[in-house]
Amino acid sequence: MASLKLLLSQARRHCLSTPASSSPLHRLPKYFSSSSSSPSPSSESQPPPNDGGGADPELPRQRRPPQPVPIQPVSYAAKPKEAPPPSPETPAPIREPRARWTREDARYMKDAPSISPVSYAMRVAPLPEDRASADAAVEGAEGEKRREGTEFERRRAEAGNQAAMMRRRRLSRVLEEEEQAMVPFPMIIKAEKNESKAVYDLAEAIQLIKANARAKFDETIEAHVRLGIEKKRSDLIVRGSLVLPHGSGMKVSKIAFLGEGADADEARAAGADIVGGLELVEKIANSGGKFNVQKCFTTPGFMPKVLKIAKILKPLGLLPNAKQGTLVSDVAQAVREAKQSNVDFKMDKTSIVHVGLGKMSLSENDLRENIGAFVNALLRAKPAGLKKTSKYAGYVNSFHICSTMGPGFSVSIQSLSKAADHYNKVSLS
């Protein structure tokens, strides 16, 4: 701000001290005039006359008015006219030979690349016949390339086939050498195919079971029957009960009888373990689902009262049923047979029946009669919806017997049919 004030004060002093006639603006027309006369330097360098204002002619340098700069005229040479083209009569002017390059010129032009002139052929629009000939030439070239490619592919395929044949020959040669050479231990042993097991006669199968018995306890003879009933057919269920002629050798079942009056007395006389009427039904209903017996018998007249506890007996498998032989009219005979090792059988979810038919201590004839009795009961339990032409065809697919710890043996259907017929004759006589 201080410098600005100083500048303004000096400008004001300069304007007051310089007369109007000494202003450089009134000399501008003289400078821009086209006159050739120019002011002499002596006149320009003279100081302006003093107009009596009392000002000192020798003012300081910074206060003197700026001196005008003289403009010197500039003249340009006239452009030469173009020379007329040389006529045949007038010889062309001889050009002076170009001066040789100096060492300095060669220094800069040494590495400059040489540029050779390039000429291009004249392009002319083709005619229709020229186009046809060009297309034919292109097609011919493409056909030639195609034929060359086909030939190359054929040769390549032949080379691949030859290489594959050589590899097969080499591999076969290596395999032959390996077969001839001794293979060190361990050797790769091929797995043997499972051959179909032989089917034995019932008597022969029992002999083999006794011969292969190695356990230290009295093993059980078991029968496993695969039935020809579809797993989805829930309406076709095979179940039944029978009394083995020579006993199963197992513990005697604990039997209960639900009934009143004379039927209850007969059950006690036949050897029933638990006998009772309505009081026993109430006791089972309040037992919380616990009833420790193996079989439960009743009569058709007392069955409606037993149905009150069906939710408890059915999960335990104790609900009286005519197919199982627990819903009977002859109470004494049913209880007596149950005490004589009565055996129950039922088909599982895989359409197989598993049942024990005696002990190893029994003789071969006793075991044969027990198996015959089971086959007879199995035929009686055949579902009515399974209709086949034969008793066994489509019903019994396979029959195997084994001991508890021994191997199993397949039994022929013919020998089983003979054992069932023999049991019928003995039981009827």
- Is residue 353 situated within a structural domain? yes
Report residue 35's pLDDT band, with 50, 70 and 90 as the boundaries. Answer: very low
Asked if 276 and 418 sit in the same domain, the reply is: no
Residue 140 forms part of a structural domain:
no
Q: Give residue-wise pLDDT tens across range 179-229.
A: 666 555 555 666 666 555 788 999 999 999 988 888 888 888 999 999 888
pLDDT at position 410 is 92
Q: Which residue has the tokens 């059980």?
A: 220
pTM of the model: 0.45
Q: At what angle do helices 413-428 and 364-380 cross, to 10 degrees?
A: 90
Largest CA distance in the chain: 187
Q: What is the mean pLDDT of residues 2-11?
A: 75
Q: How much is the pLDDT for 380?
A: 87
Q: Are residues 213 and 233 in the same domain?
A: yes
pLDDT for position 144: 76
Examine the domain organization and report whether 429 and 361 are in the same domain: yes
Instruction: Tell me the CATH number at 232.
Output: 3.30.190.20
Measured between alpha carbons, how far is 142 from 134 in angstroms, rounded to an integer?
12
Angle, helices 262-270/331-339, rounded to nearest 10 degrees: 20
- DSSP-assigned letters across all residues of 336-353: HHHHTTEEEEEB-TTSEE
Residue 42 inside a domain? The answer is: no
Residues near 90 by beta carbon (within 8 Å), at least 6 away in sequence: none
pLDDT band at residue 400, thresholds of 50, 70 and 90? very high
Residues 212 and 345 both lie in one domain: yes
Most confident of 284-293, 319-328, 333-342, 411-420: 411-420
pLDDT tens, position by position, 259-315:
888 888 888 888 888 888 888 888 888 887 778 888 888 998 888 888 888 888 888
Q: Look at residue 339 in the predicted model and tell me its pLDDT.
A: 75
Region 49-57 average pLDDT: 46
Place of tokens 């439960």: 296
The yes-or-no verdict on residue 21 having pLDDT over 50 is no
Q: Check whether residue 282 and residue 229 sit in a common domain.
A: no
- In the predicted structure, residue 420 carries a pLDDT above the cut 50: yes
Q: Give the count of domains, the chain.
A: 2
Q: Which residue among 323, 349, 379 closes a domain?
A: 323
User: Does 293 reside within a domain?
Assistant: yes
Distant-in-sequence, close-in-space partners of 215: CB < 8 Å, separation ≥ 6: 403, 404, 405, 406
Residues 346 and 403 in one domain: yes
402 shares its domain with 356:
yes
Same structural domain for residues 241 and 257? Answer: no
Amino acid at 316: L
Work out the pLDDT band at 119, boundaries 50, 70, 90. Answer: confident
Average pLDDT over residues 106-123: 70
Kindly list the distances between the CA atom of residue 364 and the CA atoms of 268, 332, 398, in Å, as whole numbers in the listed order: 35, 31, 21
Highest mean pLDDT among 53-57, 63-67, 239-243: 239-243
Which tens digits make up the pLDDT trace of 66-110?
A: 677 778 887 777 777 666 666 656 565 566 566 666 777 666 666
DSSP β-ladder status, 274-276 and 255-258 = parallel
Q: Which residues contact 198 (CB under 8 A, 6 or more apart)?
A: 410
Mean of pLDDT values over 32-60: 46
288 and 405 fall within a common domain: no
Q: Indicate the average pLDDT of the chain.
A: 76
Provide the domain limits for residue 286. Answer: 252-323
> What's the rounded mean pLDDT across residues 308-335?
84
CATH code, 294: 3.40.50.790
- Give 213-235 as a DSSP string: ---SS-PEEEEEEEE---TT-TT
Tokens of 258: 């639900």
Does residue 402 share a domain with residue 353?
A: yes
Spatial CA neighbour of 354 closest among 341, 343, 366, 365: 343
User: Cα separation of 14 and 363, whole Å?
Assistant: 159
pLDDT greater at residue 325 or residue 127: 325
Q: Which residues contact 299 (CB under 8 A, 6 or more apart)?
A: 259, 263, 327, 328, 329, 331
278 assigned to some structural domain = yes
